Amino acid sequence: MKFLHSLAGWSWNNPVTLKELRIGLRERRIFILQTVYLCFLLLVSLMYLPNMFVTPNSEQLAERGKEFFFLLFALQLMLLLVTAPALTCGSLSSERERHSLDMVLASRITSGQLVSGKLGFAAYCLILLLASALPLASICFFLGGVTLWEAFACYFELFLFGMLAACVGLFSSARESRSNYATVQSYLLVLASSFLIPFYLALRFEDHSSTHVTLGPYFWTFNQVWELSVYHFFVGIAGYLISFLFVKARHRVRPEARNLNAMAGLFLLLYLFCLAWAAGLYSLAYSGSNHTDQDPLAVLIYLAHICFVGFFLNPGQLESRLEQQRFRASPFSRPLFWLGLCVLGCLAPMGILKMLALKQDFSVWNLTFTLFFLGVYPLSVRFFQRAWLPRWQFAWVYYAGLVLLQFFPALGSFSAQGSYWRMTFVSPFSTLFSLADWSGHRPYNDREEIFVLAIGFHLLLMLVLGAVYRWRTRRPPQSVA
Amino acid sequence: MIVCQNLSKSYGEHKALQDLNLTLEAGDAFGFIGPNGAGKSTTIRILATLQEPSEGEAWVGGHSVLSEPDAVREVLGYMPDQFGLYEGMRSWEYLEFYAAAYRVPRQRWKGLIDEVLELTDLTVKKQSFVETLSTGMRQRLCLAKTLLHDPKVLILDEPASGLDPRARIELKLLLKELSRMGKTLLVSSHILPELADFCNKVGIIEAGRLLASGPVNSILAQASRDRFRLRIRVLQKNQEARQLIEKSLEADDVAEESDALVLSTAVGLEGQADLLEKLVRDGFRPVEFSQLKTDLEQIFLEVTQGITQ
């Protein structure tokens, strides 16, 4: 009952949502937004529709219906990415500007209720926009080519990505005290992410069995395991990012230990989701064969790595004495916990392969060096932070530099036949894995030599950084009286 | 009802509040006085659970602001110095939002909203949009939302700032009424005479330190026990009279206020009577010779040194 009460307070019974709806729907902003949104869709549809019915062949007609549906999908996706941040980017910063946030925070509204209330308003507006465009999209149902399940999946995804963009706006709004800054920041973030959309819409993957698998909503048929699994992966990642930004925004409103714990818990959930996803993918796609693919494993190891380095670079810092005590009491505040997680992150994929009785060529070398690097990277970054620049932003830049160093050997992973995108580039550890034999690529014959060189480089780097730290923190000799 | 124990707050090197100790009983009306940047708002924000002290502890209504912030918010009504209302909402909708925010049962909303609107004399503005209200009405609406959940403790930060004289008088009457109803009031203000009207306790803070605190009467008595403030007006020979007064009363801070001399002296009643006799005898023709009451402003000036942080 307590959970239900809490859920109601966060969702349908949230006073903040009701207040936002009262104010928002009285303004002309939403009406203008909806009109522009629909007019744009209508304009593009009118340009497309005359050519649609000239094909006599029913199969081609269905094909045209599918094209039209996914054209609308792509358009709506881009429009939502533009409109959704506008719904939230001023929500919390404007409260700060008009000095009303303190009164809300001094009431019994929790920070979670406040943030979910603002997000709830954005969700209602998104549903309004998507629902109002449904009649236009339903034209394709006359033509065929799109099943109800496909339409539902696409609309769900549109809503999810819209919510993700709204969460970016909300996070910026929680972070900044001025609405102008929040707006610029959220649009820059969305714009930077939008460069990935064309890749996402027409993503092409090839697996090693040389069967061409085409991914991206335009080509989706939802009949193939690959397509479904990638859809689930993107939905899962979007869900994670929404939750993460939500908790981050909540933490900005009122810093609490429970938010740090929630963020760490979300990392764990994401990791478990990826494990389950990879296990499901392997068991469905490759059961019966002895073929393995390194990409999902690389994703898992990459994520585990991010958890670890992320914790080391940006450990929980709370102003509040009580909240500090609370965070210290949780296992998430302990480096050993994250070290254990990283070891698990390396071992679990191998466990999956073993469980599924698939071929694996995991040498002890690979494991040892991967574990070694898992320790060396964050330590190196911490050394750098202490020795040179204490600001975490610079530490991240330094970390990015380390990753880039690993990028060069990864260049050898490009296939001679075609330079298709591979997960090997996302992490130095996946690069190490790519150098192993089981991917089929073997650009370097003496991989042990590379490992030794890399270890030597890192040890030297840490020695230098340690020396600099000692030199910078040295105390002047005390004069003897 | 409010207890502060060694309350301190630092922002890096800067100490905004240092070892503040304060105890208020139920029904007390406490006037919190201090120059800008003295630490009044910091103290108030800590008590309203908006900030956490760097050191020390505070309790409101028996609940710790550190470990039981939600329980504190339940018994506390807070009105900040600067506040904004949500434009696009009617007065009753604004109050309804805060009734929900304070988790008042839904069936009580209507009755409570009518009650607080009546108390703040805003019944006629129930259906009005908040952006159409005057500054004084907005102030009263904010006070109405503060009273919605019937808090035992009211913390008001500069409630009279920006109000015209009429609105100030109305607000003062309202605060008197609330004090009479048994609420514990903590009011910070720059307008000291108004505080003296309805506060039974005052505290003077400067540079993060509480310099004086206690019942108004005892502070006034303590301040006027050793020194007298006199107002003397003579019809002729002002300059000569001034010299005589300065010499007789050993006063060096004689000020002229509209043809009269205002001064502070430690000389007792006998000495003052002697002076009056001498003034008459020497032909100065005094028309006014009175003792001024020591007020909060005077105490404030005496206690503080004008230090700003």
* B71 lies within 8 A of chain A by CB: no
Quick one: pLDDT at residue A223? 52
* A29 lies within 8 A of chain B by CB: no
User: How confident is the model over A239-246, as a mean pLDDT?
Assistant: 92
pLDDT at A245 over 50: yes
Most trustworthy range by pLDDT among A180-194, A315-329, B206-220, B227-241: A180-194
pLDDT at A446 over 90: no
Higher-pLDDT residue of B216 and A313 is B216
Say if the Cβ atoms of A106 and B66 lie within 8 Å: no
Q: Which of A6, A17, A19 is the best mutation test for B, with the most CBs of B within 10 A?
A: A19
Which residues of B are less than 8 Å from A118 in CB distance?
none
* A99 lies within 8 A of chain B by CB: yes
How many angstroms separate the CA atoms of A393 and B299, rounded? 52
pLDDT bin (cut points 50, 70, 90) of residue A202 is low
Closest of B162, B154, B149, B116 to residue B30, by C-alpha = B154
Quick one: pLDDT at residue A388? 64
Helix A111-137 vs helix A225-253: crossing angle, to nearest 10:
140
How many angstroms separate the CA atoms of B266 and A229, rounded? 91
User: How confident is the model over B142-147, as a mean pLDDT?
Assistant: 90
Say if the Cβ atoms of B67 and A15 lie within 8 Å: no
Enumerate the domain spans of chain B: 2-214, 227-300
**Joined tokens for residue A377:** 């990277």
How many angstroms separate the CA atoms of A406 and A425, rounded? 9
pLDDT at A435 over 80: no
* A25 lies within 8 A of chain B by CB: no
Quick one: pLDDT at residue A213? 38
User: How confident is the model over A365-379, as a mean pLDDT?
Assistant: 63
Using one digit for the tens of pLDDT, what is the confidence trace for A252-276? 898 888 888 888 888 888 878 877 7
Quick one: pLDDT at residue A38? 93
Query: Among positive and negative, which fits the CA dihedral B188, B193, B194, B198?
Result: positive
How many angstroms separate the CA atoms of A378 and A312, rounded? 6
Which residues of A are less than 8 Å from B70 in CB distance?
108
Say if the Cβ atoms of B84 and A99 lie within 8 Å: yes
Question: Which A positions 318-337 lie with beta carbon below 8 A of chain B?
Answer: 319-322
User: How confident is the model over A63-86, as a mean pLDDT?
Assistant: 86
* A368 lies within 8 A of chain B by CB: no
Quick one: pLDDT at residue A145? 74
CATH of B227-300, one of 3.30.70.100, 3.40.50.300, 3.40.640.10, 2.30.290.10: 3.30.70.100
How many Å is the Cα radius of gyration of chain A?
A: 26
Nearest by CB: B66 against A18, A109, A322: A322
The DSSP string of A14-77 is: -HHHHHHHHHHHHSSHHHHHHHHHHHHHHHHHHHHGGGGGG---HHHHHHHHHHHHHHHHHHHH
Distance from CA of B206 to the nearest CA of A (A): 24
* B295 lies within 8 A of chain A by CB: no
Mean of pLDDT over chain A: 73
Using one digit for the tens of pLDDT, what is the confidence trace for B71-100? 999 999 999 988 888 888 999 999 999 999
Distance from CA of B192 to the nearest CA of A (A): 25
pLDDT bin (cut points 50, 70, 90) of residue B271 is confident
Most trustworthy range by pLDDT among A207-211, A380-384, B277-281: B277-281
- Percentage of chain A beyond pLDDT 70 is 54
Mean of pLDDT over chain B: 84
* B82 lies within 8 A of chain A by CB: yes
How many angstroms separate the CA atoms of A323 and B97, rounded? 29
Residue A312, amino acid? F
User: How confident is the model over B288-304, as a mean pLDDT?
Assistant: 72
Quick one: pLDDT at residue B239? 77
pLDDT bin (cut points 50, 70, 90) of residue A307 is low
Q: Which residue of B has its CA nearest to A23?
A: B88
pLDDT bin (cut points 50, 70, 90) of residue B28 is confident
Mapping DSSP onto H, E and C, the string for chain B reads: CEEEEEEEEEECCEEEEEEEEEEECCCCEEEEECCCCCCHHHHHHHHCCCCCCCEEEEEECCEECCCCHHHHHHHEEEECCCCCCCCCCEHHHHHHHHHHHCCCCHHHHHHHHHHHHHHCCCHHHCCCEHHHCCHHHHHHHHHHHHHCCCCCEEEEECCCCCCCHHHHHHHHHHHHHHHHCCCEEEEECCCHHHHHHHCCEEEEEECCEEEEEEEHHHHHHHHHHHCEEEEEEECCCHHHHHHHHHHHHCCCCCEEECCEEEEEECCCHHHHHHHHHHHHHCCCCEEEEEEECCCHHHHHHHHCCCCCC
Distance from CA of A313 to the nearest CA of B (A): 22
How many angstroms separate the CA atoms of B100 and A108, rounded? 9
Quick one: pLDDT at residue A181? 92
Q: Which residue of A has its CA nearest to B88?
A: A23
pLDDT at A116 over 90: yes
Closest of A121, A84, A115 to residue A101, by C-alpha = A115
* A237 lies within 8 A of chain B by CB: no
pLDDT bin (cut points 50, 70, 90) of residue B127 is very high
- Which CATH code fits B2-214? 3.40.50.300
Nearest by CB: A27 against B66, B88, B142: B88
User: How confident is the model over B186-209, as a mean pLDDT?
Assistant: 80
Nearest by CB: B103 against A22, A99, A108: A108
Contact yes or no for B76/B44 (Cβ under 8 A): no
* B239 lies within 8 A of chain A by CB: no
Q: Which of B54, B57, B83 is the best mutation test for A, with the most CBs of A within 10 A?
A: B83
Quick one: pLDDT at residue A171? 94
Quick one: pLDDT at residue A17? 92
User: How confident is the model over B245-250, as a mean pLDDT?
Assistant: 78
A79-88, A155-164, A319-328, B295-304: range with lowest mean pLDDT:
B295-304
* B50 lies within 8 A of chain A by CB: yes
pLDDT bin (cut points 50, 70, 90) of residue A122 is very high
- Percentage of chain B beyond pLDDT 90 is 22
Q: What are phi and psi of B209, to 5 degrees?
A: -115, 140
User: How confident is the model over A277-288, as a mean pLDDT?
Assistant: 66
Contact yes or no for B303/B211 (Cβ under 8 A): yes
Which residues of B are less than 8 Å from A108 in CB distance?
70, 73-74, 101-103
Quick one: pLDDT at residue A267? 80
Say if the Cβ atoms of A106 and B82 lie within 8 Å: no
Largest CA distance in chain B: 79
Helix (H) or strand (E) holding A283: helix A257-285
Nearest by CB: A104 against B79, B88, B101: B101
Quick one: pLDDT at residue B306? 61
ipTM for the predicted complex: 0.80
Which residues of B are less than 8 Å from A22 in CB distance?
88-89, 93
At A294 the three-state DSSP class reads: coil
Q: What are phi and psi of B274, to 5 degrees?
A: -60, -40
A345-359, A423-437, A442-456, B167-181: range with lowest mean pLDDT:
A423-437
Distance from CA of A15 to the nearest CA of B (A): 6
CB atoms within 10 A of CB A32: 10
Which residues of A are less than 8 Å from B9 in CB distance?
none
Say if the Cβ atoms of A22 and B89 lie within 8 Å: yes
Contact yes or no for A30/A24 (Cβ under 8 A): yes
pLDDT bin (cut points 50, 70, 90) of residue A389 is low
pLDDT at A418 over 70: no
A219-223, B47-51, B59-63, B243-247: range with lowest mean pLDDT:
A219-223
Distance from CA of A206 to the nearest CA of B (A): 54
pLDDT bin (cut points 50, 70, 90) of residue A413 is very low
Say if the Cβ atoms of A100 and B70 lie within 8 Å: no
